[in-house]
């Protein structure tokens, strides 16, 4: 399951309205032209052009947003899964959340240790630089994490 949610950037409506007021004021000073509506209609364009940035990465490789994927890995006792949620901005991971559903008792311990240490390994790094092999003593969980990151990379391609 891959679920994506684009995280919109705030649009400064007050600034856009101030820009419209400034254009109308300048148009009124331009010497009696009645075409003041034309510049005012084009003034909202900056706010509209900000919208594509909310769904696209600033570098163009990956789209900004929050992505979720499930990764799988095998242990000697079972096949385990973890859910990974990454938030991207400018191709960089700004937040990570990992949740597990361990089937084996030993997996519970390793998933817990992995979850406790993964943030230090990936936050602030470029998405293409992430490939963990062992986090807080857990090596098998890393395989499931890398599997989920691969799915997120495919989904986030701009």
Distance CA 66, CA 72 (A): 20
What are 84-111's pLDDT values in tens digits? 999 999 999 999 999 999 999 899 999 9
Domain ranges of the chain: 9-55, 65-156
In Å, what is the CA distance from 26 to each residue of 23, 37, 73, 151?
A: 5, 12, 64, 52
Distance CA 82, CA 63 (A): 23
Residue 109, beta-bridge partner list = none
Q: Is the pLDDT of residue 120 over 80?
A: yes
What are 7-66's pLDDT values in tens digits? 433 333 333 333 333 333 334 444 443 444 433 333 333 222 222 233 333 446 999 999
Yes or no: say if 121 and 137 are a contact pair by the CB < 8 Å rule.
no
The yes/no answer on whether domain 65-156 falls in CATH 3.40.1190.20 is no
What long-range pairs does 113-116 form, CB within 8 A, spacing at least 24? 113/137, 113/138, 114/82, 114/138, 114/141, 114/142, 114/145
> In this structure, how many other beta carbons lie within 10 angstroms of the beta carbon of residue 122?
23
């Amino acid at each position: 399951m891959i679920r994506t949610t684009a995280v919109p950037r705030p649009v400064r409506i007050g600034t856009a309205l101030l820009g419209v007021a400034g254009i109308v004021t300048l148009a009124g000073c331009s010497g009696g032209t009645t075409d003041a509506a034309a510049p005012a209609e084009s003034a909202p364009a900056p706010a509209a052009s900000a919208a594509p940035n909310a769904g696209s990465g600033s570098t163009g490789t990956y789209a900004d947003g929050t992505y979720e994927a499930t990764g799988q890995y095998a242990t000697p006792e079972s096949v385990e899964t973890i859910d990974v949620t990454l938030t991207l901005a400018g191709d960089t991971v700004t937040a990570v959340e990992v949740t597990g559903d361990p089937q084996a008792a030993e997996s519970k311990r390793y998933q817990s240790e992995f979850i406790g240490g993964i943030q230090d390994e990936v936050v602030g790094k470029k998405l293409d630089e992430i490939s963990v092999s062992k986090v807080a003593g857990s090596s098998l969980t890393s395989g499931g994490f890398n599997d989920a990151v691969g799915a997120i990379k495919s989904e986030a391609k701009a």
